[in-house]
A = this chain, B = another copy of it.
């Protein structure tokens, strides 16, 4: 974050690599979409209004398709491309994007403000990107949620004046909730059955650990209502043995995607 001319500028930079963040044979138009949308999701989590992006583009196989996807996603979110650079290099394609936004509310929401007694909320279901990824690999079924995630910019701006803490779920609900808990110095107790799924119930455990859905995870004072339909999935507790509890117990295994 940067203060300039009385405004708070919110800045994000994400790098994505073929084989790590996207499949090497994925449609470059979808890669462009995801690169932009994930950065805009970071802005959404800060309640920021996007001002523009800068692209660092390593030339790849189908640069025309990338440009088409870039044009689509920038038009969809009405965000200008302010600059960038291209580079030719061997090896896995590496892409970088910087997004700039203007904070719409001060203080700017962070993951560090959750208070004991707050309710824990989630904007929508998890597991959609997971199902989409499987569909993409199987070349059968609906893969849109994985290929073209949504940045919840309007929701983030609406929530910014209300929340005590907020972040986007990029690496898995349990992992990101544990990060919010650690940053806030609290424990977060989640009610498994209250967490909405966009996949079969049998995959609930997996879906709680899968990222890429870019839902907003946020905390509100107990008595405060959410201004749009969302899901109340838990409560903030005094710091205890585990940063995140699922139905009263520390969840086992990997909590999400560490990278």
Q: What is the CA–CA distance of A79 and B6 in the complex, to the nearest angstrom?
A: 20
A76 CB to nearest chain B CB (Å): 20
Tell me which residues from 6 to 63 in chain A have a Cβ below 8 Å from any Cβ of chain B: 6-7, 9, 11-21, 51-52, 54-58
Do B54 and A21 touch (CB < 8 A)? no
A14 CB to nearest chain B CB (Å): 5
Do A17 and B92 touch (CB < 8 A)? no
Do A18 and B89 touch (CB < 8 A)? yes
Q: Could you say how many copies of this chain the assembly holds?
A: 2
How many of chain A's residues have a CB under 8 angstroms from any CB in B? 42
A interface majority secondary structure: strand
Do A54 and B13 touch (CB < 8 A)? yes
Q: What is the CA–CA distance of A9 and B80 in the complex, to the nearest angstrom?
A: 14
Tell me which residues from 94 to 120 in chain A have a Cβ below 8 Å from any Cβ of chain B: 94, 96, 98, 100, 102
Other A-B pairs, 7, CB within 8 Å; known A20-B87, A56-B56:
A5-B7, A6-B6, A11-B52, A13-B96, A58-B94, A91-B92, A96-B96
